[in-house]
Structure 1
């Protein structure tokens, strides 16, 4: 299974989600490939220092992450596309016709809830930790859902 995680700049939320999903999938020996991208990303940016730091505390290394701009190839090859906000979802569906039936909000896929993942960009470390914890909890539900299919 191939999962694409999408946020705005691909430096905070989606790299954290990518790292966490990979970590949890590896723990369960699931054959899941995860990548992330942004709808307005500058190609080649590193993950934010706070994102790298708070995942490192959990044993998850995203220090080699480089941002990508979502493109047709990524959408085509993905089985599931998970977005951080409803606006990300709307933009993807408008921009990529084949995204419609496989694009979900992160919390929608995890819990059936149509709620956004908060954006820590520009916030302090505690805001990043809150977002990380939100993503981690939803990621556990996502991995369980996939494992039980």
Structure 2
């Protein structure tokens, strides 16, 4: 299940403080397995029910970076969108995401440096309205001047 806002590009000339975009995605077992394969992170807390039951999480959890990847999707597809270049990201993992959870990934424009095409974005992911991840990204935004 994937629910998100229109994809495309918002050039730096059109960005405004407080502008927001989001996507909503249900994290599936297949997502976790594919992420493990691509990243080569096969930690059993993500893949093995019996092992994961014996951990502090008392069950399997999604990779934190899989959840963070949803933030990347909002930035790269919606805000600012196509042509955006990541310069940096901070992340704080607050709670686990489990198979079957629906994650709401949200990005909001915090500041804009037009002269350097730098945009700072507040980033967060929620499950059932509760934060599971928060952070800040700095990106190089696309510009109409460079089309």
Q: TM-score, normalised by structure 1?
A: 0.25
- Indicate the structure with greater helix content: 1
Larger Rg over CA atoms: 2
- Indicate the structure with greater strand content: 2
Q: TM-score, normalised by structure 2?
A: 0.26
